Structure 1
């Protein structure tokens, strides 16, 4: 009887040891996608927010870039497979929320779906004559081929030219492969300021808006890490440190965008998951706030 009990305990211990463990919680590192060379500054807000989240949660995890550079598509795939990275930030979609575990607090306050356009520098931008969605059908937009934005634009009847490479999209715009490159108003200023984009500029006329959000995602089943990130973000929202960090990074961009002076064109988002927390007003910047003169 004693021997049988011992065997059962040994088998149970072996099963426990063979269970896949979160890398982040196993060695106290939290691996995130290493940015492409020259694009490190694009992640400054997210890295600061991720560290703030860990601090608020009382976490002992330390941030560590992945061994190799990776664009978003690869990072999401690695996360789904539970290797190379432990957390990725990306626009949400129905597909992504079935493949990964989202922490449903918008990192961008919903502004990922507020889009300005990069265009070629020229005397007269082609977007200046656009006053409704129908007129926009005459122009081609550029987007990443696996970005949810590509499907959103196409769903709304807008022509889209795609590329598998983020850096190549800027070169394609300059070469005239498409007329405009919609970018979030939070990221477009840094992109336009890059030396390699000196022949591009930010259009002053158009504003595209569709409902969406950027979240932290973790591997399926990694509920312990998800709970830790959720707790940290909720505490940062409650004590105001989330907002302070957001406006420190993006307050100037919101002012420079002059949103109330732009031609607003609303687009539908068929990819918006039903569990998007639209009812939590404190998570989003309202249209009234953004469009006031």
Structure 2
């Protein structure tokens, strides 16, 4: 009798797993990389909100180690089942892949503070305008859209492949500034503050509108619709904002934006993009600054 029950339970489990739709989110680049945890939890929230309409799901993560450029290639090629990766909005991406037009971090990533060496910070204190800021080099990751935005705005940009190494680069004066979103700042400072000579600026913010969308493979429109419906539902009932605040509010508060000078540049990638995403921006007054 026990054997019969075990067999029945086994087949029930197999049937249950087969009825679940598998989704995949981006895994970390390194063991100490926590940047994509919010994205994973956000996809999970969207899936939870849509179970009644679309059915059960199973959420996985991609293998560790892929940088942003590689992750987007994997999305375009459909490397994983129902693979959703967040990245900046560009016309090219919206044409090559299926984009979900919801700014996953509510547009807050467009506000940047600077990691730098203690020597660079002493020079940075005298900066009052964009022309003066352009005298400082910026380090960015290979494949990051910030690189082109900053270059087109007249900045000297140094590209690097290793995320954690960029903090070392500015601490060692191999580049002047490493701009990071005010939502990313606190976790990154806590993770890297033991690096000798690393510090952060407390006076400036560089702003450019920078919505990030989830992307998935062409042909995956049905599951993209599910994620969009789930995100909007979570936004309307406040659960998305609750997740967002639990992840980012402490960092935003630590930055103390009201005491900083904000310098703005354009994001030319948004000129051809439907601006309806901006209704979900945390600071709606900045949403239209293209």
- Asked if Structure 1 and Structure 2 have the same fold, meaning a TM-score greater than 0.5 normalized by the shorter chain, the answer is yes
User: 1:243 & 1:256 partners in 2: Cα distance?
Assistant: 19
Q: How many residues align?
A: 265
Contact 2:193–2:199 (CA under 8 A) maintained in structure 1: no
Residue 177 (structure 1) aligned with residue 174 (structure 2): yes
Shift in Å, 1:26: 8.7
Render the CA deviation track for 1:238-286: whole Å, top value 9, x for unaligned. 11111111112212112111111111110111112523434753x0112
Aligned to 2:69: 73
Aligned to 1:285: 282
Q: Name the CA shift for 1:287/1:231 in 2 (closer, same or farther; >3 Å).
A: closer
Aligned to 1:225: 223
Render the CA deviation track for 1:13-50: whole Å, top value 9, x for unaligned. xxxxxxxxxxxx99622122221233343223222211
Task: Choose from 236, 252, 255 the match for 1:254.
Answer: 252
Aligned to 2:4: none
Contact 1:113–1:184 (CA under 8 A) maintained in structure 2: yes
Contact 1:33–1:65 (CA under 8 A) maintained in structure 2: yes
User: Counterparts of 1:50-69 in structure 2 under 5 Å?
Assistant: 50-58=43-51, 59-69=55-65
Aligned to 1:211: 209
User: 2:133 & 2:30 partners in 1: Cα distance?
Assistant: 34
User: 2:116 & 2:64 partners in 1: Cα distance?
Assistant: 32
Shift in Å, 1:96: 1.7
Contact 1:67–1:84 (CA under 8 A) maintained in structure 2: no
User: 1:65 & 1:124 partners in 2: Cα distance?
Assistant: 38
Residue 82 (structure 1) aligned with residue 78 (structure 2): yes
Task: Choose from 235, 239, 242 the match for 2:240.
Answer: 242
User: 2:277 & 2:232 partners in 1: Cα distance?
Assistant: 16
TM-score, normalisation: structure 2: 0.84
Contact 2:138–2:156 (CA under 8 A) maintained in structure 1: yes
TM-score, normalisation: structure 1: 0.83
Render the CA deviation track for 1:141-176: whole Å, top value 9, x for unaligned. 111132110000111101111112322222221221
Local SS of the residue matching 1:182: strand
Residue 28 (structure 1) aligned with residue 14 (structure 2): no
Local SS of the residue matching 1:38: coil
Gaps of 5+ in 2: 1-17
Local SS of the residue matching 2:242: helix
User: 1:276 & 1:213 partners in 2: Cα distance?
Assistant: 12
